[in-house]
């Protein structure tokens, strides 16, 4: 082979390598974009499910039982199971923690604080019970602290006010969202 042929072969190989690298970069960008879109879809679906039946009924019954000082079973279990699913999706990367914090933390923090004894008891029987939720709550608390929030440690009055609000919800009542200051975005 001549030097010219060797040079053409090397140049062709380099061009193929550059094209392959570009194709890989493009494929990665497309997959990344599809993943972000899927995360948004999962979040919207979970938010919609939370504001529709049967979740609205569970939320109202739980709130009314807590206000009356009664045992919130089985609604407490259903709400915890719901947020265990949200946590599983977040822990698996299907939801972003920041999106969960903005969408659900105003509901998760008071429920978690109110149900902490139940969660602790359930974990004594089975340490894996609500383990996804416990892990998620600690990450949401860190986000809340970083954003100078105070919702991660609701007082008894905060929890009572939360249940009063929940007792009056209806189907389609929007989930309370965090208001994020422009400077903290």
User: How many helices (DSSP H) and strands (DSSP E) are in the chain?
Assistant: 6, 0
pLDDT, average across residues 134-157:
96
Look at residue 112 and tell me if it is in a domain: yes
Domain count of the chain? 1
Look at residue 20 and tell me if it is in a domain: no
Look at residue 2 and tell me if it is in a domain: no
**Do 90 and 162 contact (CB within 8 A), yes or no?**
no
Look at residue 21 and tell me if it is in a domain: no
Look at residue 148 and tell me if it is in a domain: yes
Query: What tens digit of pLDDT does each residue of 34-79 get?
Result: 888 989 999 999 999 999 999 999 999 999 999 999 999 999 999 9
> Domain range spanning residue 59?
37-184
User: pTM of the entire structure?
Assistant: 0.84
Question: CA separation (Å) from 129 to 22, 58, 81, 157?
Answer: 46, 20, 10, 28
Look at residue 149 and tell me if it is in a domain: yes
Look at residue 22 and tell me if it is in a domain: no
Sign of the alpha-carbon dihedral angle for 29, 32, 37, 40 = negative
Is the pLDDT assigned to residue 26 strictly greater than 70? yes
Look at residue 63 and tell me if it is in a domain: yes
């Amino acid at each position: 082979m001549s030097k010219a042929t060797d040079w053409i072969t090397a140049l062709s190989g380099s061009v193929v390598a550059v094209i392959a690298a570009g194709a890989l970069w493009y494929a990665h960008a497309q997959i990344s974009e599809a993943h972000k879109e899927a995360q948004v879809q999962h979040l919207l679906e979970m938010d919609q499910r939370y504001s529709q039946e049967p979740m609205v009924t569970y939320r109202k019954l739980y709130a009314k039982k807590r206000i009356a000082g009664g045992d919130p079973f089985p609604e407490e279990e259903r709400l915890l199971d719901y947020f265990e699913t949200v946590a599983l999706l977040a822990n698996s990367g299907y939801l972003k923690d920041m999106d969960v914090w903005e969408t659900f933390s105003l509901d998760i923090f008071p429920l978690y604080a109110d149900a902490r004894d139940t969660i602790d008891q359930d974990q004594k029987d089975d340490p894996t019970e609500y383990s996804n939720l416990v892990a998620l709550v600690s990450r949401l608390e860190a986000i809340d602290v970083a954003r100078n929030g105070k919702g991660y440690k609701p007082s008894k009055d905060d929890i009572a006010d939360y249940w009063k609000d929940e007792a009056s919800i209806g189907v389609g009542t929007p989930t309370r969202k965090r208001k994020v200051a422009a400077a903290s975005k």
